[in-house]
Amino acid sequence: MTPLDTFGILCITMGLPFFLTGTIGLLRFPDIYTRLHALTKADNVGLGLIILGLSLQADNLFTVAKLILIWLLVLIASSASCHLVARSAMQKNIHPWTK
């Protein structure tokens, strides 16, 4: 096993807690804005770490390019839909949670 493989495994296993905390945040946070925050940030960091680990283990550069393309698409898509949902919720007068 080369050092690159080992570092890739480390990155993949580091990405898993981000996915789990994203789901826990979606389940436990009080309102729509905080849930959006947990979902669209934590999950994308987790996906980024997994893609970093997988591209360290990838066979050729074409696969790496495709993995990075997938990550960029997911980033753009989730930030755009996060803004759309949050703006639409503001327009519906859903107030942010206060203590």
Given the rule CB under 8 A, which residues bind other proteins? Answer: 1, 5, 9, 12-13, 15-16, 19-20, 22-24, 26-27, 32, 35-36, 39-40, 43-44, 46-47, 50-51, 54, 57-58, 63, 66-67, 69-70, 73-74, 76-78, 80-81, 84-85, 88-89, 91-92, 94
The answer to whether 11 and 56 are in contact (CB under 8 A) is yes
Cβ neighbours of 44 (radius 10 Å): 19
Quote the least distance from Cβ 59 to other proteins, whole Å: 9
The answer to whether 12 and 49 are in contact (CB under 8 A) is yes
Nearer to other proteins, 24 or 96 (CB): 24
Nearer to other proteins, 88 or 98 (CB): 88
Quote the least distance from Cβ 94 to other proteins, whole Å: 8
Three-class secondary structure of residue 84 per DSSP? helix
Cβ neighbours of 22 (radius 10 Å): 22
d(CA 57, CA 64): 9
